[in-house]
Chains A and B, each alone.
Chain A
Amino acid sequence: QVQLQQWGAGLLKPSETLSLTCAVHGGSFSGYYWSWIRQPPGKGLEWIGEINHVGSTNQNPSLKSRVSVLVDTSKNQVSLKLSSVTAADTAVYFCARMADYVSGRHYFDSWGQGTLVTVSS
Chain B
Amino acid sequence: AIQLTQSPSSLSASVGDRVTITCRASQAISTALAWYQQKPGKPPKLLIYDASSLESGVPSRFSGSGSETDFTLTISSLQPEDSAAYYCQHFNSYPLTFGGGTQVEIK
Interface residues, chain A, CB within 8 Å of chain B? 35, 44-47, 58-62, 94, 96, 99, 104-109, 111-114
Contacts and interface: CB of A to CB of B under 8 A. Distances in A.
B89 A107 contact: yes
A62 B97 CA distance: 12
Interface stretch (B15-23, B41-49, B62-70, B72-80): B41-49
Contacts, number: 57
A60 to B, nearest CB: 4
Interface of B: 1, 32, 34, 36, 42-46, 49-50, 55, 87, 89, 91, 94-101
Contacts of A60: 95-96
Contacts of A109: 46, 55
B42 to A, nearest CB: 8
A61 B94 CA distance: 9
A94 B98 CA distance: 14
A60 B98 CA distance: 13
A88 to B, nearest CB: 17
A45 B87 contact: yes
B96 A106 contact: yes
Given A44-B99, A59-B95, A61-B1, 17 more contacts: A44-B87, A46-B97, A47-B96, A47-B97, A58-B94, A60-B95, A62-B1, A96-B43, A99-B49, A105-B49, A105-B91, A106-B96, A107-B91, A108-B44, A108-B46, A108-B89, A109-B46
